[in-house]
Amino acid sequence: MTTSSFWYEDAGLEKRPRLEADAECDLVVIGSGIAGLSSAYEAARFGWRVVVIDRAETIGGVMTPRTTAHLATALDDYYHCLIDARGKDDARTYHESQVAAVNRIEAICRDEGIEADFTRLDGILVPAEAAHMSDLKKEYEACRTIGVEVEWLDQSPLPLPQGARALRFPNQARFHPLKYIRGLIQAVEGRGGRIHGGTVYVDHVEDDGGVTVETEAGPRIRAKAALFATNSPVNDKVAIHTKQIPDRTYAIAGPVPKGTVPRPADLGHARSLSLRPPPAAEWRRGSADRRRRGSSHRHGQRHGPALRPSRGLDPRALRLVRRGPIPLVRAGDGAH
Ligand SMILES: Cc1cc2nc3c(=O)[nH]c(=O)nc-3n(C[C@H](O)[C@H](O)[C@H](O)COP(=O)(O)OP(=O)(O)OC[C@H]3O[C@@H](n4cnc5c(N)ncnc54)[C@H](O)[C@@H]3O)c2cc1C
């Protein structure tokens, strides 16, 4: 079994040279994952001179190449929980932002001619056991309250527990993240943006005229503004980190017999299990109670061998499919 990402098979990550001398620009972006490159792209479109730096030699991020690449407006952590925590207006705003983000990726693919396999598809949330139906019912009601499109399904591509139903979220999407990243790199550089790998942010100083970013090897970048897109903050080591719990997400994959899974239709919740059988079908299986069931999200875990925790998921994956043995070929993970 390999732990390299599925996406590397047909699109690797590109390298860019280190920043060797001081630079000046309108916007310096720290981090070249999807967040950093998307922001750099939007700024470059408006004529801003952009410099992107990343500590890695390769461009495209650390988490971004490991994603299962579901562009979902359905919420991993449930809209009913978000409403409880923040109220209906914030939940509605959050949902609208997700819809806008997915639409934006679709538009960028179209406008820039990026062949990133962008596909609209349904998201299907499947209860792992009948007891989880109460969560799905709450989620259905919450979605209806704030205007999220959702409907009940009596049948799902994965076998449903006795007496259970699934939720269908139409108009979700999926794409190839590394093909998309390549397209963004071209679009940024095509507008005069500079991208540097192997260039580590260490500090910055703000003044009335802008900001000066210091890099580990010495060169400085003077800019009107700096944007930090490092996933885990490096510019403020207290405000966010003290409020976060380390979380690790795993994805495992293996082939299933052709025709046993419908067209690439379904995904479920991120607190779940994700399989990617070739040629293109995939699904996730939701588990409403990660503490009891275990899941692909592990709270409080720090770095460790990627394969060890995924071993716990393998039997569960095999049990869910119930259509015969699946040789698991891949396990991947990332911390956030
Ligand atoms: C298994 C798995 C499945 C997932 N599935 C989904 C999914 O289906 N849908 C979804 O929307 N999300 C999913 N995610 C989450 C998604 O992948 C991340 O939210 C997203 O990729 C984060 O992008 P980013 O640009 O913020 O971070 P990254 O891609 O991690 O990029 C951050 C970059 O900052 C750089 N950096 C850090 N520190 C410095 C420094 N000091 N100086 C310079 N550069 C620095 C890093 O080298 C890195 O390249 C999944 C994640 C995992 C692990």
CATH classification of the domain holding 11: 3.50.50.60
- 248 CA closest ligand 1 atom index: 53
Task: Based on the fold, state whether residues 24 and 132 are members of the same structural domain.
Answer: no
Helices (H), 270-306: 290-293
> Is position 1 within any domain?
no
Question: In the prediction, which pLDDT does 220 show?
Answer: 98
Ranges of the chain with pLDDT below 50: 264-309
Distance CA 295, CA 184 (A): 33
Q: ∠ at Cα 202 (220, 302), nearest 5°?
A: 155
Task: Based on the fold, state whether residues 131 and 277 are members of the same structural domain.
Answer: yes
Choosing from 63, 180, 244, 272 the residue with most ligand 1 atoms within 8 A of its CB, the one to mutate for a pocket test is: 63
Measuring from atom 49 of ligand 1, which residue has the nearest CA?
61
> Is position 36 within any domain?
yes
Task: Based on the fold, state whether residues 199 and 329 are members of the same structural domain.
Answer: no
- 34 CA closest ligand 1 atom index: 25
Question: In the prediction, which pLDDT does 268 show?
Answer: 43
> Is position 298 within any domain?
yes
Choosing from 64, 71, 75, 235 the residue with most ligand 1 atoms within 8 A of its CB, the one to mutate for a pocket test is: 64
Query: Is the CB of residue 64 below 6 angstroms from any atom belonging to ligand 1?
Result: yes
Distance CA 152, CA 177 (A): 30
> Is position 96 within any domain?
yes
The residue from 206, 241, 276 where one domain ends is 241
Q: Quote the ligand 1 centre to 161 CA distance (angstroms).
A: 34
Task: Based on the fold, state whether residues 211 and 226 are members of the same structural domain.
Answer: yes
Residues 6+ apart with CB under 8 A from 199: 18, 19, 53, 54, 55, 215, 216, 217, 219
Statement: the pTM of the whole predicted model exceeds 0.75: yes
What is the domain range of residue 235? 6-67+178-241
Measuring from atom 13 of ligand 1, which residue has the nearest CA?
67
> Is position 196 within any domain?
yes
Task: Based on the fold, state whether residues 252 and 209 are members of the same structural domain.
Answer: no
Task: Based on the fold, state whether residues 237 and 262 are members of the same structural domain.
Answer: no
- 37 CA closest ligand 1 atom index: 25
Report the number of distinct structural domains present in the chain.
Answer: 2
Distance CA 17, CA 11 (A): 19
Q: Quote the ligand 1 centre to 233 CA distance (angstroms).
A: 12
The residue from 241, 265, 294 where one domain ends is 241
Task: Based on the fold, state whether residues 151 and 249 are members of the same structural domain.
Answer: yes
> Is position 30 within any domain?
yes
Task: Based on the fold, state whether residues 157 and 283 are members of the same structural domain.
Answer: yes
Query: Is the CB of residue 234 below 6 angstroms from any atom belonging to ligand 1?
Result: yes
> Is position 82 within any domain?
yes
Task: Based on the fold, state whether residues 204 and 165 are members of the same structural domain.
Answer: no
Task: Based on the fold, state whether residues 317 and 199 are members of the same structural domain.
Answer: no
Query: Is the CB of residue 227 below 6 angstroms from any atom belonging to ligand 1?
Result: no
Distance CA 261, CA 74 (A): 22
Q: Quote the ligand 1 centre to 248 CA distance (angstroms).
A: 12
Question: In the prediction, which pLDDT does 109 show?
Answer: 98
Question: In the prediction, which pLDDT does 291 show?
Answer: 27
- 231 CA closest ligand 1 atom index: 26
Task: Based on the fold, state whether residues 190 and 234 are members of the same structural domain.
Answer: yes
Measuring from atom 44 of ligand 1, which residue has the nearest CA?
54
Q: Quote the ligand 1 centre to 107 CA distance (angstroms).
A: 22
Task: Based on the fold, state whether residues 93 and 54 are members of the same structural domain.
Answer: no
Query: Is the CB of residue 251 below 6 angstroms from any atom belonging to ligand 1?
Result: yes
Helices (H), 113-235: 133-146, 177-190
Report which of 180, 173, 175 is spatially closest to residue 59, judged by C-alpha positions. Answer: 180
Query: Is the CB of residue 215 below 6 angstroms from any atom belonging to ligand 1?
Result: no
Query: Is the CB of residue 37 below 6 angstroms from any atom belonging to ligand 1?
Result: no
- 53 CA closest ligand 1 atom index: 43
The residue from 241, 261, 278 where one domain ends is 241
Measuring from atom 38 of ligand 1, which residue has the nearest CA?
230
